[in-house]
């Protein structure tokens, strides 16, 4: 697999290679901004009084906001190929809350040959500052084999 | 993204139920707002010679986000419901200005004891009726 296409954010496409890590600070302001952009004003995200009385005990970020960070990491690593051939399969394990620092990371799990292309399969993870898993799963994409 | 629709209750949903299709336009204002909200600064989306101008490419997660919003405007989830899983497959690059149609279908509505799982398949097409993205969304609902 030494002759694979160069991609923007990785030094090599090899099993075990780490994807470029991202760190994001979650604030209520960012959650509100995402609510406005997405149109999802569920009170568990934006109404602090409502959320405080709920079983979650406070507002939480939209799961799709955190997932967008994961997609950003894949875009940095693989560029436009991610936009046209990407796949994501994730589980939301814990909510992200205002004040959390989310680290988005991943690595190449394996590489499969598919005709004149390769499929790159990755493990992906979003964790908070306590090490709790917020999102876990797998991503993959196809790349032309040079 | 403020369409008003009557919402379908979860207990009215049989496997195979199809929601009315939703249409939306991925115009420049919507995409700029999305990119700013998710702090996306990639030169794939923002022009390097004018950082406030779009290149014309749509971030795929923006399409997913608006499809999810459309779904949640049509589906009444009981309090305590949790979005637990998401599968997404990107099938083609989409450009700013594309008119999108989102089709949603219940693939599983399964109850056993206190466990209630609802899974919905989303098919997202461009104005040429070509598939741009397919998604599978899973919710756990309180019984």
Residue ranges covered by each domain of chain B: 10-27+58-142
| DSSP assignment of B75-111 | EEPPTT-EEEEEEEEE-S--BTT-EEEEEEEEEEEEE
Q: Tell me whether residues A30 and B85 touch, CB distance under 8 A.
A: no
The answer, as to whether pTM is greater than 0.95, is no
Under DSSP, is residue A61 helix (H, G, I), strand (E, B) or coil?
coil
What pairs with residue A140 in β-bridges? A87, A121
The answer to whether B31 and B9 have CB atoms below 8 angstroms apart is no
Residue A16 lies in a domain: no
Partner residue facing A89 (CB), from B1, B72, B87: B87
Report yes or no: A89 at the B interface, CB cutoff 8 Å: yes
Q: What CA–CA distance (Å, rounded) separates B138 from A29?
A: 27
In this predicted structure, the answer to whether residue A11 has a pLDDT above a threshold of 80 is: no
Residues A57-114 pLDDT 10s: 999 999 999 999 999 999 999 999 999 999 999 999 999 999 999 999 999 999 998 8
The residue range of the domain holding A80 is: 22-144
Residue A79 lies in a domain: yes
Residue A126 lies in a domain: yes
Strands (E), B1-143: 8-9, 22-25, 75-76, 82-90, 99-112, 115-125, 131-142
Render the burial of A78-87: b for 16+ CB within 10 Å, e for the rest: bbebbbebbb
The listed CATH number (3.10.129.10, 3.90.950.10, 1.20.1250.20, 3.40.50.2300) that belongs to domain B10-27+58-142? 3.10.129.10
pLDDT confidence bin for A4, thresholds 50/70/90: very low
Report yes or no: A39 at the B interface, CB cutoff 8 Å: yes
Residue A44 lies in a domain: yes
ipTM of the complex: 0.91
Tallying the residues shown for chain A, one arrives at 146
Where residue A97 sits, what CATH number does that domain have?
A: 3.10.129.10
**pLDDT attached to residue A1:** 39
Partner residue facing B61 (CB), from A36, A67, A92: A67
**pLDDT attached to residue A44:** 92
Residue A97 lies in a domain: yes
Find all residues with CB under 8 Å of B136, minimum gap 6, and list them: B85, B86, B87, B107, B119, B120, B121, B122
pLDDT confidence bin for B57, thresholds 50/70/90: very high
Residue A80 lies in a domain: yes
**pLDDT attached to residue A7:** 67
Report yes or no: B34 at the A interface, CB cutoff 8 Å: yes
Query: A85 to chain B: which residues are within 8 Å by CB?
Result: 90
Best CA proximity match to B12, nearest among B86, B79, B106, B102: B106
| Domain count for chain A | 1
């Amino acid at each position: 697999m030494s002759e694979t296409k160069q991609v923007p954010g990785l030094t090599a496409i090899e099993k075990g290679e780490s994807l470029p890590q991202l760190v994001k600070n979650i604030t209520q302001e960012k959650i509100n901004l995402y609510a406005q952009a997405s149109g999802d004003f569920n009170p568990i995200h934006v109404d602090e009084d409502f959320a405080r009385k709920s079983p979650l005990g406070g507002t939480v970020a939209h799961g799709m906001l955190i997932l967008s960070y994961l997609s950003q990491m894949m875009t940095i690593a693989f560029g436009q190929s991610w936009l046209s051939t990407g796949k994501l399969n994730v589980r939301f394990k814990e909510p992200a809350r205002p004040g959390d620092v989310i680290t988005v990371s991943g690595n190449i799990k394996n590489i499969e040959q598919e005709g004149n292309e390769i499929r790159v399969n990755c493990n992906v993870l979003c964790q908070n500052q306590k090490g709790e898993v917020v999102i876990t799963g797998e991503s993959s994409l196809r790349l032309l084999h040079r | 993204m403020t369409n008003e629709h009557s919402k379908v209750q979860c207990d009215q949903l049989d496997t195979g139920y199809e929601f009315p299709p939703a249409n939306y336009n991925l115009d420049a204002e919507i995409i700029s707002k999305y990119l700013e909200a998710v702090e996306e600064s990639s030169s794939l989306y923002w022009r390097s010679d004018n950082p406030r101008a779009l290149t014309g490419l749509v971030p795929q997660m923006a399409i997913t986000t608006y499809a999810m919003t459309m779904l949640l405007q049509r589906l009444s989830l009981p309090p305590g419901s949790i979005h637990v899983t998401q599968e997404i497959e990107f099938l083609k690059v989409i450009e700013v200005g594309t008119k999108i149609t989102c089709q949603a279908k219940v693939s599983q509505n399964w109850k056993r004891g206190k466990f209630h799982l609802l899974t919905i398949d989303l098919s997202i097409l461009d104005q040429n009726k070509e598939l741009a993205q397919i998604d599978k969304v899973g919710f756990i609902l309180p019984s």
